[in-house]
């Protein structure tokens, strides 16, 4: 599968980072980036560690470092920021109270560490595909990330499920173990569930919002990244890859 990334990065000077969030797409994008001659000596991979991962994610992270032979650096919010967030949201209890609360959690645990990960970089590479969700329709291989002020490269932008499936199989790339348990997207444990056959691939992310928003903010192309939590209430009151199902 041709990604077109080599020709793109030849024209970009400076350091380039890849966001690895343990999706099949990220593993394919990392495999492509590591085979790219123009990135040698100026490339690194990072993960936004939300401290709310599934235990399987920690295992898969280590498996990928061994498979690819690289360190995948973890970036997290500070203890102070996490503590302040959890005070506001009663741990994670209130992330389901409103989309704003949930996006606030994503902002602190993902968007803020992303700024640190991208500092000083000329471009970042993602595993985004237009076919993943309606919110990603029209995605281009090359975009400008106005929020973080750098070039964003999406080498899998036009890939179909079958093309991703084929690339993973052909290159024997390891997959997150939760794919075999019905998950079609990998995220934080409190906010990700398995999906039923026929459901959208990202339907298991923040499912209680009934599709109001299936993004965490770091890839929002028009939505505001920072959201404030809603006022605290007085009382508390949903395409699969064949390889995934194999």
| Beta carbon nearer to ligand SF4, 169 or 228 | 228
Cβ of residue 150: shortest distance to ligand SF4, in angstroms?
Answer: 22
Please report whether residue 176 would count as binding ligand SF4 according to CB under 6 A.
no
| Beta carbon nearer to ligand SF4, 100 or 163 | 100
Nearest Cα to Cα of residue 211 among 219, 222, 202: 202
How far is it, in rounded angstroms, from Cα 194 to Cα 205? 9
Task: Look up residue 62 and give its two tokens.
Answer: 């280590």
| Beta carbon nearer to ligand SF4, 167 or 183 | 183
Quickly count: other Cβ atoms within 10 Å of residue 56's Cβ. 17
Please report whether residue 109 would count as binding ligand SF4 according to CB under 6 A.
yes
Cβ of residue 47: shortest distance to ligand SF4, in angstroms?
Answer: 13
Nearest Cα to Cα of residue 35 among 66, 65, 5: 5
Please report whether residue 190 would count as binding ligand SF4 according to CB under 6 A.
yes
Subset of residues 6 to 65 that bind ligand SF4, contact rule: CB under 6 A: 50, 52
Q: Would you call 216 a catalytic residue per the annotation?
A: yes
Cβ of residue 115: shortest distance to ligand SF4, in angstroms?
Answer: 15
Nearest Cα to Cα of residue 64 among 139, 169, 174: 174
Asked if 91 and 83 count as a contact pair (C-beta separation under 8 A), the reply is no
Q: Which residues are catalytic?
A: 216
């Amino acid at each position: 599968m041709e990604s077109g990334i080599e020709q793109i990065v030849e024209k970009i000077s400076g350091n380039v980072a890849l966001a690895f969030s343990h999706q099949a797409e990220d593993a394919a994008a990392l495999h492509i980036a590591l085979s790219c001659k123009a990135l040698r000596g100026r490339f690194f991979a990072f993960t936004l560690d939300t401290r709310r991962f599934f235990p399987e994610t920690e295992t898969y992270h280590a498996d990928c470092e061994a498979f690819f032979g690289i360190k995948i650096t973890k970036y997290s919010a500070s203890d102070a920021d996490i503590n302040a967030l959890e005070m506001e949201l009663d741990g994670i209890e209130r992330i389901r109270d409103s989309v704003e609360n949930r996006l606030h959690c994503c902002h602190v645990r993902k968007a803020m560490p992303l700024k640190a990960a991208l500092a000083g970089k000329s471009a970042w590479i993602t595993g985004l595909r237009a076919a993943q969700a309606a919110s990603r329709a029209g995605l281009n291989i090359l975009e400008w990330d106005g929020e973080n002020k750098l070039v964003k490269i999406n080498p899998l932008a036009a890939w179909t499920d079958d093309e991703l499936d084929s690339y993973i199989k052909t290159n024997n790339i390891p997959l997150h173990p939760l794919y075999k348990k019905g998950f079609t997207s990998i995220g934080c444990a409190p906010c990700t569930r398995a999906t039923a056959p026929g459901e959208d691939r990202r339907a298991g992310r923040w499912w209680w919002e009934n599709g109001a928003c299936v993004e965490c903010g770091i890839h929002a192309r028009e939505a505001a990244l920072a959201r404030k939590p809603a006022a605290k209430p007085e009382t508390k009151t949903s395409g699969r890859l064949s390889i995934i199902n194999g």
